[in-house]
Amino acid sequence: MAEKYLSRQARRAAERAARRTGQPAKQGSKRTGTIWPLIVGASAVLLLVARLVWPSQGNTVPTVPGGPGLTVPLQGAQHVSAGEAHPPYNSTPPTSGWHYDQPANWGIYTTSIPDEQQVHNLEHGGIMVQYRPDASPDLVQQLRQVVGRYRSKVVLAPYPGLDAPIVLTAWGRIDQLGAFDEGRIVAFIDAYRNQGPERVPD
C-alpha cells in the first residue's frame, strides 16, 4: 500500500521518536522532495522569457557591448502635454524621459526640435544628429550627406547650447564629437538605430 504523505506535525513526531529509538525517521514521498525544484526552475524560465518578450517600457537601454557613446541613466518614458512642466533632463540633448505624444518626422531640419518631441523619436528607436546653430555650412553639408543615406529613424537638426559641435543621441546613449567624424557617426547610427524600447516599423 502506498505510503501516505506525512503532515508536518507527524513528521516531527516521527523524528523525535526516531531520536529516542536510534532508528531513522520515515520520510514523506520522494515526490515532495522533487516537485519544488521543478516548480522553481519553471518559474525562473517563465520570468526570463517574460522579461525578454515584454521589457519594461522606457527602462531598457540598447545593449551593444563596447558600443559607441556613453550610457545615460534612464528617466522613464512619461507622456506630457505641450507646455506641461516636468523635472529637468539629465543630459543635453535628452536621451529619455518626458515626451510629447507626437514624434517629429524623420529627416533633415533647419530649425531645432523641442526636447519633448525628440525624446519620442528616440523611444521609437530613432537617432538624433544635432549640431550648433553657428556651425559652418561645410559641416552642415557633411552631416546632411550622412543622414540623407537613411530613409527613416534618423533626424538631423540644429540645437542651441550644445557643449560640443556635434552631439548624437539614442535612447539612453549619447556621444559628443569635437569635429566631423563620418565613421564615428555612422557607427553610432548603425549600433542604435531601431533599438528603442518602443520600436515602430519604418
pLDDT tens sequence across 58-94: 556 666 667 899 999 999 999 999 999 999 999 999 9
Record the pTM: 0.71
Angle at 119 between CA 93 and CA 160, to 5 degrees: 30
- The pLDDT of residue 100 is 97
Estimate to the nearest angstrom the gap between the alpha carbon of 35 and the chain centroid.
36
The dihedral through the CA atoms of 75, 76, 77, 78 has a sign that is negative
Return the pLDDT at 23.
53
| DSSP output for the chain | -PPPPPPHHHHHHHHHHHHHHTPPPPP--HHHHHHHHHHHHHHHHHHHHHHHHSPPTT------TT-SSEE-------B--TT---PPPSSSS--SS-B-SSPPPSEE-SS---HHHHHHHHHTT-EEEEE-TT--HHHHHHHHHHHTT-SSSEEEEE-TT-SSSEEEEETTEEEEESS--HHHHHHHHHHHTT-SSS----
Adjacent-strand bridge partners of 176: 167
128 near 157, Cβ under 8 Å? yes
- Range 70-192: architecture per CATH: 3-Layer(aba) Sandwich (3.40)
Check residue 29 and give its pLDDT: 46
pLDDT of residue 33: 55
What would the mean pLDDT of 121-143 be, rounded to a whole number? 98
- What number is the average pLDDT over the span 143-150? 98
Identify the pLDDT of residue 55.
41
Return the C-alpha cell found at 162: 550644445
What is the structure's pLDDT at 2?
Answer: 42
More confident residue, 182 or 41: 182
